[in-house]
A and B are shown apart, each in its own frame.
Chain A
Amino acid sequence: MSSRAFLIGGIVSVTLVVLFFTRSEVRIQRDAIQDLHFNFESLAKGVRENAIQMNKLTVKIEKMGDRLEVVSAMLDSTDVYFPEDDFLTRLESMEKTLTELSLNKNLERESGHSYAQAIDPKVVDDSGNEIYRANSLGESIFDADSGKPIANYVEGLAEKLYSSEDIAEIADVYCRESMCKITYSSLVENAQGITPKGDNPELLERISEGLDGEDFNTYHARDEQGNEVIYLELE
């Protein structure tokens, strides 16, 4: 009896274990089916959204097609507008002005001073000889007078310049803290017709000697009396 009970108990136990595992498997399968269902739902939603996007794209393509037809019609007609020569000239002029303005800004940045005009005024006589030529950049730097001090060289510079009778007739040497303004009539240019105009390498050599060989910069102009003017600064 006891062995029978033991057998039945064993069978019941095995059955229970089998049932337990079967149930667990069913639960897993059910969960998997639920996940699959959820995925199908997401996929369906995605397809619906894509369909909406496709519809929008179709509408856009149709609109572009309409516009293309309009453009094509315009090109076929004789009423297409092309800019006139005058318009192009004005555009070119505006472009040039903008370039000059841009350059002025750059020059202001370089010199630290306001520089109003890119092209300085000139006065030319009937023969094409220049009577008056301004140099706004040189004048503005001379007025600002904020460069490297030049006082130590002024005496030697004046001595060299005033002893240059062979190349220039010096009218005036006026020095401020950092710049000198030299007014003169060039004898070399008139005698030898050197080009470029206003070039006077011999005078620059004398200036260099007067500055003990220091590097320097010059700005050239011609005043109302026809005198040559050099604004001079140390580098």
Chain B
Amino acid sequence: MNTKKILYSASLITLLYVVPFTSTETVARSNATSADICDIKNLSGKKKNSIREQNGEIVNISNDTKIPISCPISRDFLALEYNVIIKAWNYASSQRTFKCTFQELDNQSFVIRTWNRSVQVQPSTSGALSIVGKQLINPINRFHANCTLPPGGAFGAIFVDNIN
């Protein structure tokens, strides 16, 4: 019995020493960008006045117009996997649906593939549109996001986790 106790103790102590050195922990470096880097797509005149950029946010201040916007996504070149998260806010008085098409573009700006995501956000709360653990087909490709801002909706920030 004592021998068993000694063996268990020895194993436990060994594990406590060894496990921290052998774990395959991934390293993520995150960066955040204000969503006011997003640009309005194919809009002019009255509709263009529906957008306001304030405090780093891009806000659709209209009551009835959905605004398509285009967001560049910056990333670390050498990471193997990426998480991209866009934070959405609903300033309207009723539920809103936010949509984003995350694209992988090649070096000639051809669309290679897309991930189409949507989220419903209650009034005065926030939600997130995200793609998780994505790898580029070619390291020289890039991410881009085309999103739709509903009336009273805003995008606050774009987060990118670069995972090695």
Which residue of the partner chain, among B68, B81, B116, contacts A218 with CB atoms under 8 Å?
B116
B113 is an interface residue with CB less than 8 A from chain A:
yes
Stretch at the interface among A15-23, A25-33, A69-77, A103-111: A103-111
Q: Judge whether B138 and A118 touch: CB under 8 Å.
A: yes
Stretch at the interface among A38-46, A52-60, A132-140, A162-170: A132-140
Q: Judge whether B108 and A218 touch: CB under 8 Å.
A: no
Which residue of the partner chain, among A107, A119, A195, A219, contacts B135 with CB atoms under 8 Å?
A107
Secondary structure call for the A interface:
mixed
Q: Judge whether B138 and A217 touch: CB under 8 Å.
A: no
Q: How far is the CA of A215 from the CA of B98 in the complex (A)?
A: 12
Q: How far is the CA of A198 from the CA of B113 in the complex (A)?
A: 10
Stretch at the interface among B12-20, B26-34, B87-95, B99-107: B99-107
B48 is an interface residue with CB less than 8 A from chain A:
no
Contacts of B109 in A (CB 8 A): 195-197
Contacts of A84 in B (CB 8 A): none
Knowing A215-B117, A216-B116 touch, does A198 contact B137 (C-beta < 8 A)?
Answer: no
Chain B nearest CB from A143 CB (Å) reads: 16
Write the chain A residue with the least CB distance to B146. Answer: A201
Chain B nearest CB from A38 CB (Å) reads: 34
Q: Which of B111-132 contact A (CB under 8 A)?
A: 111-118
The count of residues in chain A whose C-beta lies closer than 8 Å to any C-beta of chain B is 33
Q: How far is the CA of A184 from the CA of B108 in the complex (A)?
A: 21
Q: Judge whether B110 and A103 touch: CB under 8 Å.
A: no
Q: Judge whether B111 and A119 touch: CB under 8 Å.
A: no
Knowing A196-B105, A196-B144 touch, does A220 contact B110 (C-beta < 8 A)?
Answer: yes
Q: Judge whether A133 and B110 touch: CB under 8 Å.
A: yes
Write the chain B residue with the least CB distance to A222. Answer: B110
Q: Judge whether A103 and B118 touch: CB under 8 Å.
A: no
Which residue of the partner chain, among A192, A208, A219, contacts B116 with CB atoms under 8 Å?
A208
Q: How far is the CA of A208 from the CA of B117 in the complex (A)?
A: 9
Contacts of A133 in B (CB 8 A): 110
Q: How far is the CA of A198 from the CA of B109 in the complex (A)?
A: 9
A: residues with CB less than 8 A from B are 99-100, 102-103, 106-107, 110, 118-119, 130, 133, 135, 137-138, 192, 194-199, 201, 204, 207-208, 213, 215-220, 235
Q: Judge whether A103 and B138 touch: CB under 8 Å.
A: yes
Q: Judge whether B101 and A219 touch: CB under 8 Å.
A: no
Highest count of chain A CB atoms <10 Å: which of B103, B133, B137, B138: B137
Knowing A196-B105, A196-B144 touch, does A220 contact B114 (C-beta < 8 A)?
Answer: yes
Q: Judge whether B115 and A235 touch: CB under 8 Å.
A: yes
Chain A nearest CB from B128 CB (Å) reads: 13
Chain A nearest CB from B40 CB (Å) reads: 13
Interface pairs A-B: 5 shortest CB-CB: A196-B109, A198-B111, A219-B113, A218-B114, A220-B111
Contacts of B139 in A (CB 8 A): 99-100, 103
Chain B nearest CB from A155 CB (Å) reads: 20
Chain A nearest CB from B114 CB (Å) reads: 5
Q: Judge whether A135 and B112 touch: CB under 8 Å.
A: yes
Contacts of A100 in B (CB 8 A): 138-139
B136 is an interface residue with CB less than 8 A from chain A:
yes
Q: Judge whether B138 and A196 touch: CB under 8 Å.
A: no
Contacts of B108 in A (CB 8 A): 130, 197
Chain B nearest CB from A234 CB (Å) reads: 10
Highest count of chain B CB atoms <10 Å: which of A138, A207, A218: A218
Which residue of the partner chain, among B41, B101, B133, B136, contacts A204 with CB atoms under 8 Å?
B101
Chain A nearest CB from B28 CB (Å) reads: 16
